[in-house]
Amino acid sequence: MAVKLRLMRMGKKKQPTYRVVAADARSPRNGRFIEIIGTYEPRQDPSVIKIDNERAVHWLQHGAQPTERVAKLLKISGAWTEATGETVDAVVPTAAPKKSRKQIEKEAEAAEQAAAPTEEPSAETGSAGDEDGTTEGDA
């Protein structure tokens, strides 16, 4: 039996979460599986990857073939290095947090205000008079 390590889609419509499973290569994507070895939540920021490295290494040593995406997840979790002995680049790319258009506009506005010289009201104008600018002797 050919075993694959692959993702099984879970979650609601437009809100996917995945299980990392060991399954027979002939079974459908969300069909029967042999064992759940982890989870992957791509919609979190940053993405959440929880993999039982011990079980992943077991399946890799027994000939299970990971899909491309699962291979990347195993490299991030460290199971790939344990199983194959290959060194993987320690730098894992992390995406910058996504900003809405409103947030970008607010930041630009704040930067403009910080860059513009602050004009303080002059102490000479209206200091000796009332609110309307008249002095006591003007009556």
What whole-number distance in Å separates Cα of residue 31 and Cα of residue 20?
13
Residue 60: exposed, middle, or buried by beta-carbon count in 10 A (0-12, 13-18, 19+)? buried
* Number of domains making up the chain: 1
- Identify the weakest region by mean pLDDT among 17-21, 41-45, 81-85, 86-90: 86-90
Give the DSSP H or E segment for 10.
strand 3-12
Q: What is the pLDDT of residues 71-112, one digit of tens each?
A: 999 999 888 888 777 776 644 555 556 777 788 888 888 888
- Report residue 74 as tokens: 């195993």
CATH number for position 43? 3.30.1320.10
What whole-number distance in Å separates Cα of residue 17 and Cα of residue 78?
21
Full residue range of the structural domain in which residue 47 is found: 3-84
Q: What is the pLDDT of residues 49-76, one digit of tens each?
A: 999 989 999 998 888 899 999 999 999 9
Determine, yes or no, domain membership for 111.
Answer: no
Q: Is the pLDDT of residue 130 over 70?
A: no
pTM, two decimals, is 0.59
